[in-house]
Amino acid sequence: MTDTARISAHMLREGRRNIAETICSHLESSSSLNKEIAPVTRLEQSETHIHILAACIEFQSPVLLNDYVQWVTRLPESVSPYFCEISHFLDELVCIVEAEFPQEVAGVVQHYIDTARDSLLAESRVEPSVHASLPQAQLQRNYLVALLDTRRNDALNMVLKSIEAGVEIESIYLDVIQPAQHELGRLWQTGQISVAQEHYCTAATQFVMSQLQPWFLTTTSANQTLVATCVGDELHEVGLRIVADLFEVNGWNTIYLGANVPPESIAETLASSGSQILAISCTMTQHLFALADVIDIVRSHPGCEQVKILAGGYPFNIDPYLWKRVGADANALDGKAAIRVANRLIQSRSQAESQSASPATPQLDARVPTGLHQSDDDLSRLNNSLITLQRKLNKANVELAALNKANEEKAQALQLADRRKDEFLAMLAHELRGPLAPMELAVGLLQMDDLSPALIRESRETMQRQLHQMKHLINDLLDASRIAHGKIELKKEILDLADVLNRAIETVNPFIREKQQDLKLELPDTPIFLEGDEIRLTQVFANLLTNASKYTDNKGTIWLNTKQDRDAAVIEVCDNGFGIDPELLQDVFTTFTQEQRSKLHSKGGLGLGLSLVKQLVELHQGSVSADSEGADRGSVFSVRLPALEPEENYTFAESDSMALSSQNIPSRRVLIIEDTAGIARMISLLFEKLGHEPQVAPNGATAIRMFQETTPEIVVLDLMLPDMSGLEVAQELRRLDQKNSTLIVALTGHSDDQHRNQAREHGCDEYFVKPIDMQVLQELATHPKLMTINGSSGTK
């Protein structure tokens, strides 16, 4: 936010009393003034308008101001009469600001007010009534009618009977209570019920919710804790109560603080309870200032450094990016979304080690609980003791049953994992042997005399395809291992989604063309920007497109559709192929499970592609899902990724097309240190074809001597040598290279971080894993180190 905007908001907020008095005074004789409104109410309404305008400027939300102005305009007078039309009020406010405020500040205020005026000319948004298609639509209607008829007990009984009939507690909240509250708000805002009726129904709903708590699952201690609070003097607490109860239903421990809690007390509660999430509700725009203050205090309080803050309430539903500007970590539209977002927020936190010891057998205490119906009568005391023992025994039985069930599920999971591992190893052996047979035949052909150029070309292309397949299989294995051990590091940058998708399409186009399939691409008119790792996101969509092509017939159709849904980018890969069996949908993203849509049509693979997609998307704080209507009905894979707020000045990394052209690549002296003669020969030939001067050293001692004699510009170093470690060779070469002008490149089969770090510590500039691409070798000649130290001249 600019300093001018911040100053504008501050001046409006601090001076709202004086500005409101001046406006009321100017409008005193106006024909548009509602004379029936008391002067005190006029002043309060004026201050509210100004305070909301200040909040919209402070938190850069013209859309929130537009919504407020439209709401005031369409609000029936019977609900909340205003002392004058909002347009007249805004006219007076503009005049005062232009006269009293600095020119730059007045310009900011004028811009927001003009935008709000323009919004009045557009069609106003009307709140829809509750959908009749909800799972418990009839129960919701009966429940709401009972509340409006002041039949609180009837409303409670119909809910309890539904639970006894098998309706889930979560469904009661999501499909009955939550939509009923939305409908009550709509009925009040449209003047169909009074504020007294709305308050009664809300109080009755809170009573019903309090009676549902015995059905919450509390047999085990939750290791996830949420603190729920309303900012400032918020009166609309029932929405937050619903959210807190839904968290309890889903196994969380919740600490409900409600409204009017000092920010310092909120922070202390978070720190002392070890809570991972703070859910904070704000339903009034003017309370955004207080919400931002609470967030600042929590962020700076000792013990709250790892707390994630989830903001919610009406303003956040109107402006999908508002949560970022108040300093929160995320927002959610409803209780179900809040649980999903909260689970995602705490994924990055280290999980507490689960207790392996079995719960101790509860000791049954036969003493009478203090203060519970105590009596001098012995029979009464014994009866109370029996009730206490019975409750403890029931709870112990429930805990024991839950423990037995958990152990059975773990045993089944282990058996399934072991079976999948065996299947995977058998599949791995088969898939790795697959490319070897045609490669061996191609080599046999190339050894024959008088081969035609066509056969030579065909043999070469066969070997190239099979090598690519083996490399793909090995890369999938390595990526799965890195992700499983948390060793994937994303190199994030600002990306245009269209560029990422085009790179993915370029990768899979040969496969799609080979099957003569039709790829239809649909991009939105407005660019969608993401923050992510371009290579990994390209891998995600290339895998999905490859999967779609693999399970679609020749001349089939594949669709790649994108759109922006609030603050998320949604990318769908659809096909009209073989579809997915509904029983397999839940396992398509599971590691070591190859989705067998049709073994007759499968193109092989390790079953890791979709698992990698899911894990890479989740590393980008996104989600992926699969859907299919069944066999031969095609499939849809949908990816959701966080989208950046639209900006004009994003900068992007230089593309590959800006690299030096091949004719500008200088010739370099290259020393290849490799003990495997075949590999050394091939690398030497490649460097020679690229116009360089290669030499080969088969061991470390020879390499050190040749380095002193020829002073190479590039050293390609195998880390496993027969006479000494490649790391020792690198260290000695770096000692001899006093000017640090030689580019030392480690080339090895080890892809782990430990070997990378060791190579860097011993003087290697780059680290590549075998096999190395020709393009990588070509780019070594223009490595920044050589271009800056040695210049671009090279050896002529």
Q: What pLDDT is recorded for position 393?
A: 63
Quick: pLDDT tens for 317-335.
Answer: 999 899 999 999 999 888 8
Q: What pLDDT is recorded for position 39?
A: 87
Strand, coil or helix: 661: coil
Where do runs of H (alpha helix) occur along 253-377?
Answer: 263-273, 288-300, 314-318, 322-326, 335-345
Quick: pLDDT tens for 66-99.
Answer: 999 998 888 887 767 887 888 889 999 999 999 9
Q: What pLDDT is recorded for position 599?
A: 40
The first and second tokens of residue 725, run together, are: 């470690």
Q: What pLDDT is recorded for position 128?
A: 52
Is the CB of residue 191 less than 8 Å from the CB of residue 79? Answer: yes
Lowest-confidence pick of 49-53, 134-138, 141-145: 134-138
Whether this prediction's pTM lies above 0.95 is answered by no
> Which has more pLDDT, 656 or 613?
613
Which phi and psi angles does 412 have, rounded to 5°? -65, -40
Instruction: Please give the Cα distance from 570 to 340 (Å, whole number).
Output: 17
Q: How many CB atoms lie within 10 A of CB 413?
A: 10
Instruction: Please give the Cα distance from 753 to 488 (Å, whole number).
Output: 10
Instruction: Please give the Cα distance from 751 to 768 (Å, whole number).
Output: 8
Q: How far out from the chain centre does Cα 113 lie?
A: 35
Average pLDDT over residues 762-775: 84
Confidence of residue 433 (pLDDT cuts 50, 70, 90): low
Q: In what order do the strands lie in the sheet with 253-258?
A: 253-258, 225-230, 277-281, 308-312, 330-331
- List all residues 6 or more positions away from 704 whose beta carbon is below 8 Å from its beta carbon: 729, 732, 733, 736
Residue among 795, 768, 783, 763 at smallest CA distance from 694: 795
Quick: pLDDT tens for 532-565.
Answer: 988 788 888 988 998 899 889 999 999 999 999 8
Quick: pLDDT tens for 699-743.
Answer: 999 999 999 999 999 999 998 898 899 999 999 999 999 889 999
What do you get for the CA distance between the two ends of the chain, in Å? 55
Instruction: Please give the Cα distance from 390 to 36 (Å, whole number).
Output: 65
Quick: pLDDT tens for 618-641.
Answer: 989 999 999 998 888 899 999 999
Q: Whose structure tokens read 């859910």?
A: 279
Q: Whose structure tokens read 């019920």?
A: 193
Is the CB of residue 270 less than 8 Å from the CB of residue 303? Answer: yes
Q: Whose structure tokens read 């990588």?
A: 776
CA distances from 330 to 121, 308, 515 (A): 32, 8, 43
CA distances from 5 to 107, 151, 290 (A): 10, 51, 18
Phi-psi region for residue 767, left (φ > 0), alpha (ψ -120 to 50) or beta?
A: beta
The answer to whether residue 656 scores a pLDDT higher than 50 is no
Instruction: Please give the Cα distance from 510 to 516 (Å, whole number).
Output: 10
Q: What pLDDT is recorded for position 198?
A: 87
The whole-chain average pLDDT of the chain stands at 80
Is the CB of residue 183 less than 8 Å from the CB of residue 141? Answer: no
CA distances from 739 to 115, 711, 735, 787 (A): 63, 11, 9, 14
